[in-house]
Amino acid sequence: MTTTTPALLREWRHAFHRQPETAFEEHRTSARIVEILEDAGIDKVTGLGGGTGVVAWVDGRHGGERAIGLRADIDALDVREANDVAHASTTPGKMHACGHDGHTTMLLGAARTLAQAPDFAGRVYFIFQPAEENEGGGRVMVEEGLFERFPMEAVYGVHNWPGMAVGEAAVHDTAVMAAFDVFRVTLTGHGCHAAMPYLGKDVVLAACQLVNQLQGIVSRETPAHQTAVMSVTQFHAGDAYNVMPETVELCGTVRCFDPELRDHLETRFRQAIAAMATFHGLEADIDYQSRYPATFNTPAHAARCAEVLEALPDIHRVHRNLPPSMASEDFAFMLQQRPGAYIWLGNGEDSAALHNPHYDFNDALAPIGVAYWTALARTLLDECERDKR
Active site positions, annotated: 75, 132
Determine if residue 300 is left, alpha or beta; phi over 0 gives left, psi from -120 to 50 gives alpha, anything else beta. Answer: alpha
DSSP string covering 95-138: B--SSHHHHHHHHHHHHHHHHH---SSSEEEEEEE---SSS-HH
Neighbours of 117 (CB within 10 A): 11
Determine if residue 111 is left, alpha or beta; phi over 0 gives left, psi from -120 to 50 gives alpha, anything else beta. Answer: alpha
How far is residue 139's CA from residue 151's CA, in Å, rounded to a whole number? Answer: 17
How far is residue 16's CA from residue 23's CA, in Å, rounded to a whole number? Answer: 15
3-state secondary structure of 114: helix
Q: Are 110 and 126 in contact (CB under 8 A)?
A: yes
The number of residues making up the chain comes to 389
Q: Are 373 and 107 in contact (CB under 8 A)?
A: yes
User: Rounded to the nearest 10 degrees, what angle do helices 366-388 and 100-116 cross at?
Assistant: 50
Q: Are 1 and 39 in contact (CB under 8 A)?
A: yes
